[in-house]
């Protein structure tokens, strides 16, 4: 069977897991019965537990679904402590359903798979040794990849039923009131973890900072929490930030950022009250810098900035160039600190951010989204999941979600080293071309022919040559040649859901 982006899907798995193939980016108006957790009633006086091993014994049983958040990113000290205790307790057959997996968790996940502790995984992404391990067939069952908004949808539908959520926090009181804003290992918004706190049957907080009761502001509430575990350290503050806190000096990245800005400024969306999501990384920071200048020059203010937030974005808030920052995660210390200080930086959960089965999510109101890509094809389909060698090394993140913006810009170099970014067909379709409007490279831009309004608006912008996507692909091919076709086995190692829960693509095991 093929879906509407022409991907052959594994019929056996589709049937076994009761999946439909991707059809359309339109969500429509279904009526959805949401689900709710079981509550173990207590007065809350006995929540504090000293040992991770004890709380694991009290909560985790064979066959359960357990979850974590990834707000600590590579500074996470929580995941490995909990998984160590779970493996040591001899628990088997778990489904691991974190908001995402970061590199620091890889070795432990592989050990847990080998021990039979983890037999299923759903995640936003995976990279490094774990991606390699899965792509070589290390996990018997296919990984299910979901965007942040889709994870929220799946939790609210009951597609993901979390039995126990283990959530690290930089502060909590003895009943579990907690936030991400104060303590040693602050990360700001708890956006992804708020889903787990609301929907998991059992919620375990881990903290290195037990504060006086009642703790406020309470992003996670005592009514959601079963146990509070005091640990030595929940995270390494220096590794929580995404790293890129300085503007890039790479001339190619600067050129792309400048062009992204030119596209925005010359689009019909650049007007008072517009909204945007820029994302993280050095290039995104550069876009924010150019955009700031353009806003000053044109006396234009934004109504909100969305998504993963960086300090340059909260600086715009301080400066009055942005009215509100809607914050599902923070990528650096500056952004995290700002949430504490500024009431106009609103913490939002992943459902509010991007659940498509909602009464309106933030992404539905988004004017401009700037997104990255590992590959883009001539149908504008985007791959952010597998490398050009076919190995899993990415994450959907909010990619499919933010791509619903009125103006979705893919910012990517035409080639990376000896590899083309713009290709005849992407290795894995993650975000369908229907939701992509403009591709920006260092050589020029390509506009999705669906958007003749943008073709018109952007055809005469000085310094911004417009190509067809085929022309850009051919230019790339001319520079780096045609690669050998990838060879895969027949075995499916991962399914990629579109944000509505249909299957947009699958990933096969690579040939050794």
Q: Which residues bind its own copies (CB under 8 A)?
A: 27-45, 47, 156, 175-176, 212-214, 216-218, 221-226, 273, 303-304, 323-324, 326, 343-344, 346, 351-352, 355-362, 364-365
> Which one, 46 or 389, has the nearer CB to its own copies?
46
For 297, other C-beta atoms within 10 Å of its C-beta total 9
- State the SS3 of 298-335: HCCCEEEEEEEECHHHHHHHHHCCEEEEEEEEECCHHH
> Which one, 157 or 252, has the nearer CB to its own copies?
157
> Which one, 10 or 176, has the nearer CB to its own copies?
176
Q: How far is the CB of 43 from its own copies (least distance, A)?
A: 4
Q: How far is the CB of 343 from its own copies (least distance, A)?
A: 6
Task: Note whether 412 and 372 are within 8 A (CB).
Answer: yes
- State the SS3 of 73-118: HHHECHHHHHHHHHHHCCCCCEEECCCCCCHHHHHHHHHHHHCCCE
Helix (H, G, I), strand (E, B) or coil at 497: strand
Q: How far is the CB of 369 from its own copies (least distance, A)?
A: 15
Q: Which of 328, 291, 289 is nearest to 311 (CA)?
A: 289
> Which one, 68 or 304, has the nearer CB to its own copies?
304
Task: In whole angstroms, give the CA distance from residue 196 to residue 422.
Answer: 37
> Which one, 32 or 140, has the nearer CB to its own copies?
32
Q: How far is the CB of 203 from its own copies (least distance, A)?
A: 8
Q: How far is the CB of 177 from its own copies (least distance, A)?
A: 9
Q: How far is the CB of 345 from its own copies (least distance, A)?
A: 8
> Which one, 140 or 341, has the nearer CB to its own copies?
341
For residue 484, the 8-state DSSP code is P
CB within 8 A of 285, min separation 6: which ones? 244, 245, 246, 247, 248, 310, 312
Q: How far is the CB of 273 from its own copies (least distance, A)?
A: 8
> Which one, 16 or 40, has the nearer CB to its own copies?
40
Q: Which of 333, 342, 385 is nearest to 498 (CA)?
A: 385
Q: Which residue has the tokens 């990279």?
A: 127
Helix (H, G, I), strand (E, B) or coil at 169: strand
Task: In whole angstroms, give the CA distance from residue 483 to residue 354.
Answer: 36
Task: In whole angstroms, give the CA distance from residue 148 to residue 237.
Answer: 24
Task: Note whether 467 and 442 are within 8 A (CB).
Answer: no
Q: Which of 354, 304, 311 is nearest to 326 (CA)?
A: 304
Q: How far is the CB of 182 from its own copies (least distance, A)?
A: 11
> Which one, 30 or 251, has the nearer CB to its own copies?
30
What are phi and psi for residue 120, nearest 5 degrees? -140, 145
> Which one, 34 or 114, has the nearer CB to its own copies?
34
Q: How far is the CB of 206 from its own copies (least distance, A)?
A: 17
Helix spans in 425-468 (H)? 452-458
> Which one, 37 or 103, has the nearer CB to its own copies?
37
Q: How far is the CB of 330 from its own copies (least distance, A)?
A: 16
Q: How far is the CB of 27 from its own copies (least distance, A)?
A: 6
What are phi and psi for residue 73, nearest 5 degrees? 45, -125
> Which one, 246 or 359, has the nearer CB to its own copies?
359
């Amino acid at each position: 069977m093929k879906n509407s982006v022409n991907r052959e899907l594994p019929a056996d798995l589709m049937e076994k897991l009761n999946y439909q193939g991707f059809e359309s980016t339109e969500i429509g108006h279904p009526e959805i019965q949401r689900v709710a957790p079981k509550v173990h009633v207590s007065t809350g006086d006995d929540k504090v537990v000293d040992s991770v091993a004890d709380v694991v014994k009290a909560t985790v049983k064979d066959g359960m679904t357990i979850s974590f958040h990834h707000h600590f990113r590579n500074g996470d000290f929580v995941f490995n402590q909990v998984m160590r205790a779970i493996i040591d307790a001899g628990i088997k057959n778990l489904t691991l359903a974190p908001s995402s997996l970061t590199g620091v968790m890889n070795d432990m996940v592989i050990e847990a798979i080998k021990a039979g502790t983890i037999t299923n995984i759903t995640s936003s992404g995976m990279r490094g040794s774990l991606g390699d391990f899965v792509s070589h067939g290390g996990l018997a069952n296919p990984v299910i990849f979901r965007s942040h908004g889709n994870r929220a949808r799946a939790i609210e539908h009951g597609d993901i039923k979390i039995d126990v959520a283990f959530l690290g926090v930089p502060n909590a009181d003895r009943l579990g009131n907690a936030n991400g804003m104060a303590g040693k290992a602050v990360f700001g918004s708890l956006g992804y973890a708020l889903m787990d706190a609301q929907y998991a049957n059992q919620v375990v907080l881990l903290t290195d900072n037990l504060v006086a009761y009642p703790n406020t502001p309470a992003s996670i509430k005592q009514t959601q929490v079963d146990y509070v575990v005091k640990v030595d350290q929940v995270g390494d503050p220096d590794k929580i930030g995404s790293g890129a806190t300085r503007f890039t000096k790479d001339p190619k990245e600067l050129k792309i950022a400048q062009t992204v800005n030119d596209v925005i400024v010359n689009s019909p969306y650049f007007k008072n009250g517009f909204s945007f999501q820029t994302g993280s990384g050095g290039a995104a920071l550069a876009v924010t810098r150019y955009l700031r200048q353009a806003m000053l020059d044109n006396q234009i203010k934004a109504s909100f900035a969305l998504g993963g937030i960086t300090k340059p974005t909260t600086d715009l808030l301080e400066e009055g160039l942005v009215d509100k920052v809607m914050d599902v995660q923070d990528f650096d210390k500056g952004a995290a600190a700002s949430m504490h200080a500024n009431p106009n930086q609103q913490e939002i959960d992943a459902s509010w951010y991007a659940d498509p089965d909602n009464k309106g999510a933030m992404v539905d109101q988004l004017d401009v989204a700037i997104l990255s890509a590992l590959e883009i094809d001539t149908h504008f389909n985007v791959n952010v999941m597998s490398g050009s060698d076919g190995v899993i090394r990415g994450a959907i993140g909010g990619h499919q979600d933010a791509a619903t913006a009125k103006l979705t810009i893919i910012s990517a170099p035409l080639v990376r080293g000896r590899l083309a970014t713009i290709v005849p067909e992407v290795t894995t379709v993650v975000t369908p071309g229907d939701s992509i409007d403009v591709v920006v490279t260092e050589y020029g831009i390509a506009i999705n022919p669906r958007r003749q309004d943008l073709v018109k608006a952007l055809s005469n912008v000085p310094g911004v040559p417009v190509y067809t996507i085929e022309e850009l692909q051919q230019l790339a091919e001319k520079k780096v040649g045609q690669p050998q076709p990838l060879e895969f086995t027949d075995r499916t190692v991962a399914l990629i859901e579109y944000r509505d829960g249909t299957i947009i693509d699958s990933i096969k095991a690579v040939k050794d």
